[in-house]
Amino acid sequence: MGSQLSTLNSQLIDTHAHLDYPDFQADFDDVLRRANDAGVTRIITIGTSVESSRRAVALADKYPNVFAVIGVHPTYVEESGEDVITPLRELAASSRVVGIGETGLDYHRLPSVEVAKDRQTQVFSKALQSFTEEELEADIHDGAYKSKQASLFQQQLDLAVELGLNVVIHQRDAWDDTLEILRPYSGKLSGVFHCFGGSLEQANEVIALGHLVSFTGIVTFKNGQSVREVAAQIPLWKFMVETDCPYLAPVPFRGKRCEPFHTSLVADTLAAARGVTREEIAAATTETAEKFFRFPR
C-alpha cells in the first residue's frame, strides 16, 4: 500500500483545533506555516460558542487551508442565549463550514461536585444540616444543568440533520446519557467522539452505532498506554487524528502550547502502536476525514 501512496495521501488533517483562541493571535501565520511544513495541510477549527463559531468561520474564510465546525460546547450552556440555532444556521450558509460542534454532554463540574469540594474545605463545626441543604439544592441544580445540556445537544443534532452535516461530539463523564441521546439519530448523521480516551469496549460501541473516534496527543503520554492500545485495535478506517490545540501538547512538547503541526506526532505514535507506516495512518485518516466532513470542492 505504501508504495502506491501519492504525496497528497501522505498529508494529514488536524480535525480538531481551536485556532480562534487568543493563544494563537501573536503568531498565527507561523502556526500555519509550521503545520504545513509538517505535512498538516488542512486544519478544522472548532467553535465552542456562537461568538467562537463566528471567529472560526472568519478564519476559514481568510485562510484556504482552514475550515470551520460551528457549535456550542455543553459547558457554555448557561452562557448561551435562548436561541443559538438561528445564528448557527446562518453561519452554516458558508461553504467553509464542514460540520456541527463541538456539542455533547459534560458532567465533570456539576453543581453537586463543586459543593462537595467546598464541603471538604469547610470548618468541621458547620452544621451537618446546612451541608445537607446545600447538597439537596446542588442535586436540583444538577438536574437542571443536565437538562439544559441535553436540550442544547439535541437542538444541534437536529440542525446537523437539517443541514446534512455530521457532528463533533464532546463527552466527559456522561457516557450513557450521550449515547442515549444519539441513538435516535442513527442513520441520520454520524458523529466523531473527539479526544477519545475511553475503553476498547466503548470505542467498539461508538463504531457499532456508525460513529468514529479521534485521537489527540494523549496517545504520546506515558500514562496513555490504554489509549494507544485502543488505537492499535480498532479498524484503521474508524478513527481520525487531531490536536485539540492549544490543549494536550504531545511528548516532547507536553506542558507547552499545542499547535496543529503536532498532528504529525500523533500520527507517528499511532503508526508505531499499529506497526504500520506513518503514510498509512495519514492516508487512512485523511480519507476518513474527507468522507466525514463536507469539504468544499
CA dist 122 and 119 (Å) reads 5
Q: Tell whether the model's pLDDT for residue 125 goes beyond 50.
A: no
Give me 255's grid cell: 506542558
The SS3 assignment for 238 reads helix
3-state secondary structure 21-47: CHHHCCCHHHHHHHHHHCCEEEEEEEC
E strands, 84-225, are 97-106, 167-172, 191-193, 212-215
Instruction: Tell me what pLDDT residue 111 has.
Output: 75
Report the C-alpha dihedral over residues 58, 61, 64, 69, rounded to 10 degrees. 60
Q: Tell whether the model's pLDDT for residue 130 goes beyond 60.
A: no
Q: Which residues contact 167 (CB under 8 A, 6 or more apart)?
A: 71, 99, 100, 101, 103, 156, 157, 160, 189, 190, 191, 192
The SS3 assignment for 83 reads coil
Instruction: Tell me what pLDDT residue 110 has.
Output: 86
Give me 143's grid cell: 438536574
DSSP 8-state class, residue 242: -
DSSP 8-state class, residue 227: H
Give me 213's grid cell: 473516534
Q: What is the CA radius of gyration of the chain?
A: 20
pTM of the model: 0.90
Query: pLDDT for 221-252, tens place per residue?
Result: 999 999 999 999 999 999 999 999 999 999 99
Instruction: Tell me what pLDDT residue 133 has.
Output: 61
Domains of the chain: 2-292 (3.20.20.140)
CA dist 27 and 133 (Å) reads 50
Q: Tell whether the model's pLDDT for residue 216 goes beyond 80.
A: yes
Instruction: Tell me what pLDDT residue 267 has.
Output: 98
Q: Contact at 8 Å (CB) between 106 and 72? A: no
Q: Contact at 8 Å (CB) between 194 and 244? A: yes
DSSP 8-state class, residue 173: S
CA dist 130 and 49 (Å) reads 36
